[in-house]
Amino acid sequence: MAHYRAACALVLVLTAGASVAAQPTSAPTERQILVSVLDDDGAPVPDLTTTDFEIREDDVPREVLRVEPAGDGRHVILLADTSQAAVRATSHIRSGLEAFVDGMHGDNEIALVTFGGAPRILVPATRDLERLLEGIGEVFPRQGEAAYLLDAIDQVADGIVQRAPERPVIVAVASDGIDYSNRNARQTLDAVKESGASVYIFSLIDRRNTRANFGAFGNVDRQQIIERDMLLEQGPSESGGRHRELLASSALERAMDELVAELRGQYLVTYSRPGALIPPETVSVDVNRPDMDARGTPLRTQGERP
């Protein structure tokens, strides 16, 4: 039976290869990417045009056709750390979440999920500011619980794949305590990539949250720390988002205001992709002006949605 399955698989591969080889090159298509452009002070850069942007697919330059304000229409999932390590930062976490929803509600759907212990949905996706503020008021730390950041991002990304909303964004506020997630970094990063979401993470640094103080959670596997650090380093950068470390939780509200300004200042860049049978592995964006940082998240077409 194994030999039969292998033979069938080989036939399918060979047949598919012959079919691909026989297909003509398709006509060029238009693709779009959401782009954040920030100056040295972290402020959005306005009034950029097609001549300012450089788009590359697998390091091959593409023609930029149009540049316009991105507008609204995002699907944002807020992730709030309610683990024991976040106890001292809870009031600041609430203030930061309130600042974000106050600046982004309206034509953007926002959901709220906590991850002290198993991830839990506090507010399903909504445009209702009052409902969001009520949910934020229910953000309380859970004594004796570790964080499950990787599990939360993985589950949220899976939900995005299933629902396929427009312009998904994941925004997480995380303490620097122990993470007991069951998913590893590679699994979570793959889930984020499949979802097409951009990931923004704010890490709240508290020296009192030394890993030696979490003996109540049992022995901490060094690998758990490595997995979390890998996610923090690669998740935002690979998705067009950002990771910021805040040395005081009181800085979160301002950081959230800055994120709102960044998202509201994004560009929708349309470019041309030559007819191709294989999609590119990488899409990168840059601006040809000095002292500016550009990051992009490609938008999927309906045919690419899972």
**Using only C-alpha atoms, what is the Rg of the chain?**
21
Q: pLDDT averaged over the chain?
A: 89
Using 50, 70 and 90 to split pLDDT, how confident is the model at 84? very high
198-204 and 242-246 beta bridge pairing? parallel
pLDDT of 207 above 90: no
Average pLDDT over residues 90-110: 97
Closest CA to 139 of 218, 232, 252: 252
Distance CA 11, CA 76 (A): 44
- What does each C-alpha distance from 283 to 55, 238, 266, 298 come to in angstroms? 7, 10, 17, 7
Using 50, 70 and 90 to split pLDDT, how confident is the model at 222? confident
Of the two residues 11 and 287, the one the predictor is more confident about is 287
Of the two residues 137 and 25, the one the predictor is more confident about is 137
Q: Worst-scoring range by mean pLDDT, 17-26, 110-119, 202-211, 212-221?
A: 17-26
Distance CA 70, CA 176 (A): 33
Q: What are the structural domain ranges in the chain?
A: 25-70+266-301, 75-263
What is the token pair recorded at 210? 């030394």
Using 50, 70 and 90 to split pLDDT, how confident is the model at 219? low
Using 50, 70 and 90 to split pLDDT, how confident is the model at 278? confident
The pLDDT value recorded for residue 275 is: 84
Average pLDDT over residues 119-139: 98
Q: Worst-scoring range by mean pLDDT, 1-15, 134-148, 164-178, 244-258?
A: 1-15
pLDDT of 218 above 80: no
- What does each C-alpha distance from 142 to 17, 48, 204, 210, 225 come to in angstroms? 55, 46, 17, 18, 21
Using 50, 70 and 90 to split pLDDT, how confident is the model at 177? confident
What count of other Cβ atoms lies within 10 Å of the Cβ of residue 87? 17
pLDDT of 165 above 50: yes
Distance CA 63, CA 271 (A): 6
How many residues would you count in the chain? 306
In this prediction the pTM is 0.87
CATH superfamily of 75-263: von Willebrand factor, type A domain (3.40.50.410)
The pLDDT value recorded for residue 10 is: 29
At position 39, the amino acid (one-letter code) is: D
Contact criterion met (CB below 8 Å) for 52 and 288: yes
Using 50, 70 and 90 to split pLDDT, how confident is the model at 302? low
pLDDT of 244 above 80: yes
State what percent of residues in the chain have pLDDT above 70. 85
Q: What is the pLDDT of residues 16-68, one digit of tens each?
A: 333 334 444 578 899 999 999 999 999 999 999 999 999 999 999 999 999 99
Contact criterion met (CB below 8 Å) for 136 and 70: no
